[in-house]
Structures are given as C-alpha cells and as structure tokens.
Chains A and B, each alone.
Chain A
Amino acid sequence: MREMDSYIARSLWQDRMFACLGVLCTVFGLAALCALLVKLALDGASRIDWQFFFSYPSRHASRAGILSAWVGTLVVMSVTFCTAIPLGIAAGIYLEEYARKNWLTHIIEVNIANLAGVPSIIFGLMALGLLVYLLHLGQSVLAAGLTLGFLVLPIVIVATREALRAIPTEIREASYALGASKWQTVWHHLLPYASGGIATGVIIAMSRAIGETAPLITIGALTFIAFLPPSPVSPSPPFLSLDWLHSAFTVLPIQMFNWVSRPQQEFHLNAAATGLVLIVFTLSLNALAIIIRYRMRRRIKW
C-alpha cells in the first residue's frame, strides 16, 4: 500500500515537472519571437518616417531610405505572383483531380517533394545559370520574380491539393450526376469550395517570397539602386510597356542585408527599420492566413 502511494506521488511529481518544462520551452520559443520584435522595434522605430520610405539609399545613413527597395519588392512580387499562382493551382488541380496513378504522376510528385526540400540558395544558382546567362534575362526583375515563383511553387501546389482533398467525393458525384463535365465540376464546384485553403497557401507562399534574400543575391541583385524601374504605363502608344521587367532592382531584404553588413552603427539602425517594415509585412500576411484558416474551419463542416 505504501509502495502504491509513493508511486502515485512520484507520478504526479513527474507530470508536474514535465508540464513545467513544457511551459518553459514554449515560453522560450515565444520569448525569442518577442525579443526579436522588441529588438527591431527599439532599434528601428526611430528611423521610420516619410523621408525613410521615399528616399533612395545613400552614403549618409541618416539620409538613406528604402524607396527603391519596397518598389522593387512590389514589382518582383507581382512577377512571382503571376508565375507561382497559376502554375501552382493548375498543377494542384491536375495531380488531385486528373492524374492517374501511374509512374509519370509518381515522378511528378517526387519532383515536387524534392523542390520543397531544396535550399533556396540552390534555386538562386539554377536561376543564375539558366535564366540569367542561358536565357539572357540578365539580372532583372523578371529573372528575380521567376526565381522566387519557382521557389514557392511547391507551397501553392501542396495547399491546393490539400484544399481539394478536403472536399468530399459526394460533391463531385453530385456534380457529375447532374451531367457536368470534369472541368465544369472543377471550375464551378471544387475551386470555389477550395478557395479558402488555396488562398491560405498563396498568402503563405507570398510571405515566404517577400522575405527571401539568398537566391536574389545569387542572381546578382544590386544593393545600391538609386532609381525606380520604368513605369508600366507610358504616355505614347502602345501605352503599356514591359521595360520594367528588364530593369535592375533591389528588394527590402537585400537592402537590409546590405546595411547590416556595414560596420557603421547608423546603418544598423536603417537595417532595423527595414527589418521592421519587412516583418510587419510578413507577419500580417501570416496572421491573415491564420484568420482565413480559422474562419474556414468554423464555417465549413462537411
């Protein structure tokens, strides 16, 4: 009897100790996140003003700004968006709804899984050899956007597939039973129902792309750009111009990397301010994805 009591006491103590350890580790993770945000905010907040957003980089830290960087991020992201989203969703639809179970499908799946695991800097090397030199795209917005598009492609594909897989087979059968063709079923039923899940994946993918630095450095993004890409609309016919695609560029994370690698402390403040802008961007995108996912789970109960 006394043995049992001591066993029970020991068991409760073990459980309590491990629960404490678990809370400690969880708090450690959360504290690291907080420390990161606080450190950035303390260092960078004082540098954030209109002048910082609307100035080009400069040799004088206090006069430097991130105009070319955020415009660069915006244009590169637009190319990435136009590459990864259609390609990723189409590939997801094919694999989930059309693909037969054969060796070709298997090869495609293995390839996608491999892409998801390749370090981002390898994508940079591929883009450097293939896009920049072989296809003569140069160190341009187009090359950068495509690189990041390829990089986040697996995220979009996986999200699309999971969203489609969550739709019960009965929905498909109901649509077929009404005489709809395969594509009609996909277009009118499956895609709308899967849109929440796909949107979540797209947002996560874009937030990942915004923060990527290494592959863009590899393809030779410049760190000192004191001009903007040419405007996509022109006053003379044909009014639309694609010159901006071939422009040199810089993006927010590269600007930040450039400043943080300098020895002068004033530039570190600029880096912190850039990091703050970057992190507000990515974390709000992620928060948006979490909210969409949460609301979706509450709304749809198959």
Chain B
Amino acid sequence: MQDQYLLENRAGDAPVLETSAASPAHLTRLKRVRWREWPIEMLLFGAAGFSILINVGIVGTLIYESLVFFRHVSLWDFLTDPLWTPLFADPHYGILPLLCGTVMTSLIALAVAVPVGTIIALYLSEFASPWVREAIKPVLELLSAVPTVVFGYFALLFMTPLLQKFIPDLPGFNMLSAGLVMGIMIIPYVSSLSEDAMQAVPMLLREGAYACGANRLTTALRVVFPAALSGIGASYILAISRAVGETMIVAVAAGMQPNLTWNPLKGAATVTAYIVQVSLGDLPHGSIGYQTIFAAGLALFLLTLVFNILGHLLRRRFREVY
C-alpha cells in the first residue's frame, strides 16, 4: 500500500516543477526545461509502448497466418482429428497427437521438477543456514541458464543410454528421457521462486508455530507452505509454461514423429518440435503444409497464455496477503 503511494507520488512531475516560487523569470525557465524534456519523455514512452507492438505483432501474425490454414482445414477437424500427417499424400491436420506429446513430456518434467524443486525450496528456506542458502541458490540457478540445445544433447546421449541400461528396449528417441532432462532444467524455476515466496512469510508466523512446540518439518509443511501457497503455485505455473514451450530438448531427444500415445517410452513430436521440423524442411512459404506451423503456434500461444494469466492472478493474490 505504501509502495503504491510512493509510486504514485514519484510518478507525478518532479516536485520542483509544481511548487517553485512564482517569480516570472523562474517560471519561464521551468517551462523551458519542461518543454525541452518533453521529447525525452515521449522517447521513453515509445520504448515502453514498443512491448505492445511486439505483442500485437505476435498475435496478429499467428492469427493472420493461421487464417490461411483454417481456410483449408475446419477448426473441428483441427481439434478432433487423431492424425497429424500434413506432409503425407493424404494429409490430416489433427493437433491432438502434437498436444499429446507436449502434455506427456511436460507431465514427466513436472513430476521431476515439482517435488524436487519444492523439497529444495523447503530445505533451503527452513532448514539450511543462510550461508548455505546464499551459496547454493545461484549455483542451482545456473541449471536454467544452460542453453536448451545442450540439454538436448545431454538427454539424447547421456540420459537415454543411462535409461537403456534399466529399460533395454527403450528406443533412441523417447519422451521419458526428454521429459526427465526438461524436469532437471526447470527445477530452479520451482525452487528459487518457491523459496522466495517462503522467505516472504513473516518470521512471526514461524515463531508462532515453534512456540506451540512444532518441529521444523511441521512448521515448514503446515504453516510456511500454506502461507506461501499462492507464490509457490505461481512458480509451478511458470514451470508448466516453460515445459510446454520448451523446444530444443524435445526436438533433439523425443523424436519428431507425431504419435498419439500415452506411453512415455515411445518417441513423439510435441507442438514445438513439429514447428522446428517444418522450419528445417524446404516447404515453400504460403503452402498449406507450411501454414500448419502457425496454427500449431497459435494453439501453443493460447495454452501458455492461459497459464500466464493464471500465474499472474496467483502472484497478485500473493502480493495482497502481505
């Protein structure tokens, strides 16, 4: 609340321009200053407004190019056809197989990142000494700084051979390995943001639990975790959004064959991997095959948009609590 007040106060003109003494010479100088600085403000505003242009560009391009696609394929077929074979002689344009790949790899990734990330966050926030916390957090964050194509290499040539030792008939391209490595990549998104949320829980609340005779685990799970829940939820949402939009790991390690299967040991194409596959090919711009990537992209954009809005709402609720 106070922050907002400061922001508003600061957001007005500089106090000196509003309240200075009324000597006319002084005033003209001030007016000159204000007039001279007007272009600067406009320039800065332009830079800020540019983000709107980018968004309009994204939405506009996706819709405009998708329209070309939807002129040939009905929305109903797009959403319900179980086959995605746009490059075959008998083309089918059902998004389901691609979505299935995206959902499967994302679920595997979340199955790794959510528990591991949450436990790390609880450990660093409630158990570890501040010194350990300050040292570990930035190192873990390096995990999300590694280029994703490098993770793809790691999934294909380290994780898959490793898994093949336990599951001998695992194919070289499979969703399990890609999903696991993707999970490792998004651990820091969960752990860092959840830990921030837990740190924001007032110490007074923890003291209340400890004063009742609770141990660290009970305090962490039954008091700190629920108190930080919306922030933790926002970190999960961000992780989902990253997993859904992740491209290179799945393109390298999960294969590029659209495959409507819930078996994680099989290879499958995700929405993102399909876009990469078409981009690498030599389909001409404007052909129906080429336009499919915009339709797929639009589906992906809408999916992540839902998660972004959800995360935004959660974060706002989180800010309201304290």
Contacts and interface: CB of A to CB of B under 8 A. Distances in A.
A250 to B, nearest CB: 13
B268 to A, nearest CB: 17
Contacts of B307: 117
A227 B274 CA distance: 29
Given A261-B252, A283-B142, A25 B147 contact: no
A32 B184 contact: yes
Contact of B58 (A87, A123, A208): A123
A189 interface: no
Given A126-B54, A214-B248, A23 B123 contact: yes
Most central of A122, A179, A182, A217 by chain B CB within 10 Å: A122
A91 B50 contact: yes
Interface in B40-54: 40-41, 43-52, 54
A99 B11 contact: yes
Interface string B147-168: 1111111101110000000000
Contacts of A153: 50-51, 54
Contacts of B184: 29, 32
Range of interface residues on chain A?
Answer: 35 or more
Interface in B274-317: 275-276, 279-280, 285, 293-294, 297, 300-301, 304-305, 307-308, 311-312
A98 B11 contact: yes
B119 A25 contact: yes
A253 B151 contact: no
B243 to A, nearest CB: 10
B27 interface: no
Contacts of B262: none
Interface stretch (A50-58, A228-236, A238-246, A270-278): A270-278
A21 B241 CA distance: 27
Interface string B65-96: 10000000000000000000000000000000
B6 A115 contact: no
A119 B270 CA distance: 13
A43 B157 contact: yes
Interface in A5-37: 11-12, 14-15, 18-19, 21-23, 25-26, 28-30, 32-33, 35-36
A77 to B, nearest CB: 13
B54 A150 contact: yes
Contacts, number: 302
B136 A26 contact: yes
Most chain B CB within a 10 A radius of its CB, from A115, A121, A172:
A121
B138 A117 contact: no
A98 B44 contact: yes
Interface of B: 4, 6-17, 33-34, 37, 40-41, 43-52, 54-55, 57-58, 60-62, 64-65, 116, 119-120, 122-124, 127-128, 136, 138-143, 145-154, 156-158, 184, 187-188, 191, 215-218, 220, 238, 241, 244-248, 251-252, 272, 275-276, 279-280, 285, 293-294, 297, 300-301, 304-305, 307-308, 311-312
A283 B146 contact: yes
A130 B61 contact: yes
Nearest to A123: B58
Given A125-B294, A218-B275, A260-B149, 10 more contacts: A14-B217, A33-B142, A35-B158, A97-B10, A118-B301, A128-B279, A181-B17, A211-B147, A260-B156, A278-B150
Given A113-B312, A129-B61, A182-B13, A86 B305 contact: no
A115 B152 CA distance: 24
Given A91-B48, A133-B285, A181 B33 contact: yes
Interface string A36-69: 1001100100000000000000000000000000
26 contacts: A15-B216, A18-B220, A22-B124, A25-B120, A33-B142, A36-B158, A94-B44, A99-B48, A100-B8, A101-B11, A108-B49, A117-B305, A122-B304, A125-B62, A125-B294, A181-B33, A212-B147, A214-B248, A253-B150, A257-B252, A271-B153, A272-B157, A278-B147, A279-B146, A279-B150, A283-B142
